[in-house]
Amino acid sequence: MKLYGWPVSPYTQKVKSYLLTRRIPFEDVVPTGAMLRRTIQGAVGRVIMPTVQHDGGGWLQDSSVIIDWMEAHHPGDSISPPGPRQRLAALLVELYADEWLPMAALHYRWNIEENAAFVRAEFARYALPWLPGMLGRRLIEPMAGKMSGYLPLLGVTPETIPGLEASTEALIAGLDVHLREHDFLLGGRPCIGDFALYGPLWAHLFRDPGSRWLLDDAPSVRAWMERLTTPAPLSGSFRADDVVPESLDFLFRDLFAEQWPYIASIHRAITSWLVDHPAAERLPRSLGTTDFTLGGRVGQRKLITAAAWMAQRPLDALAADRTASTAWLERVGGAEFLHTTAPARQIQRDFRLVLA
């Protein structure tokens, strides 16, 4: 099996940490620009990372799809908690890491000059390894421009940046407190939320030299990242009795206060778009923009329909057993989530999201 992706890619590092933790053998391939365009675009239709080609020859794209597939094909020693509340908590953290933390990850990478220069050199070194650095850096400029171009679309602007920085620092500080008492989010064993959170924290904030200071006062977060970078064989267990530690309340409160209202806006936009397009096979990638709140600051952000696909994962976990999680959700501000009616389902078919 081959994992294709770059060390600077958070979703690639999410999958890599998972594969290492599960002791699933794989070849770690850092694709060149030519491989991205020929092999990967040829297989999955676009330049994206990570992708996996499994031993059967088939391809998988999207970190969540890859991990689900591996869990189904490599049973035993699972990273899925046995209890419904912890399973839901794990998928909520994955949603937060995959769909909310890109604002922080991209901000610290592209708005800090030292990081932007570092990452341009990284892009050039991976994409065009045989070219002199200066020429390589010129040729990867369109790719760098595309990545930094996501910032305003994600709502990262001078108005929201103070809120974004405050909430990132609060996240790291809160995690550090939690990880003093626990090896992982839900006890002695990592869940999908650990891998997802590790992606942007390690591959962007910590690995990029100009933002590493964010972790200076968080030794427990650094030790947790180390456990996920060079994982020991799985031996610990999830907290007993399906407990979600109270020391994570701060994270879920933030998710429900700021991320979930944004997801709810996407749901409303999808529902009204479908009224006018009842026979549509797929949703547009984006449905306009919405006001949203980030660390208390109000901004505008694109309504990305793929985020509703990711939100189906915790919503499905909730639907599987609502009773187990009701009191916990009410404690952490998740009442709106608890009463969500999601719009039409999306599924991945031929590497694209389509309406089910």
Ligand X SMILES: N[C@@H](CCC(=O)N[C@@H](CS)C(=O)NCC(=O)O)C(=O)O
State in angstroms the smallest separation of the CB of 174 from ligand X: 24
**63 scored as a contact of ligand X (CB under 6 A):** yes
- CA distances in angstroms from 109 to 9, 91, 113, 168, 350, listed in the order given: 12, 26, 8, 13, 32
- CA distances in angstroms from 11 to 66, 199, 241, listed in the order given: 11, 6, 31
- Locate 294 and state its tokens: 């980030």
Q: Which is nearer to ligand X, 147 or 170 (CB)?
A: 147
Q: Which of residues 43-62 bind ligand X (CB under 6 A)?
A: 48-50, 62
State in angstroms the smallest separation of the CB of 99 from ligand X: 8
φ/ψ (deg, to 5) at 315 = -65, -35
**31 scored as a contact of ligand X (CB under 6 A):** no
Omega of the bond leading into 50 within 30 degrees of 0 (cis): yes
Q: Which is nearer to ligand X, 153 or 177 (CB)?
A: 153
Vertex 110 angle, CA 108 and 111, to 5°: 70
Q: Which is nearer to ligand X, 9 or 21 (CB)?
A: 9
CA–CA gap between residue 238 and residue 4 (Å, rounded): 30
Site string for ligand X, 140-179 (x = CB under 6 A): ------x---------------------------------
Site string for ligand X, 107-146 (x = CB under 6 A): ---------------------------------------x
Handedness of CA 280, 284, 288, 291 (dihedral sign): positive
State in angstroms the smallest separation of the CB of 36 from ligand X: 9
State in angstroms the smallest separation of the CB of 269 from ligand X: 19
Q: Which of residues 90-109 bind ligand X (CB under 6 A)?
A: 98
- CA distances in angstroms from 62 to 5, 34, 44, listed in the order given: 11, 20, 10
Residues lying near ligand X in the complex (CB under 6 A): 9-11, 48-50, 62-64, 98, 146
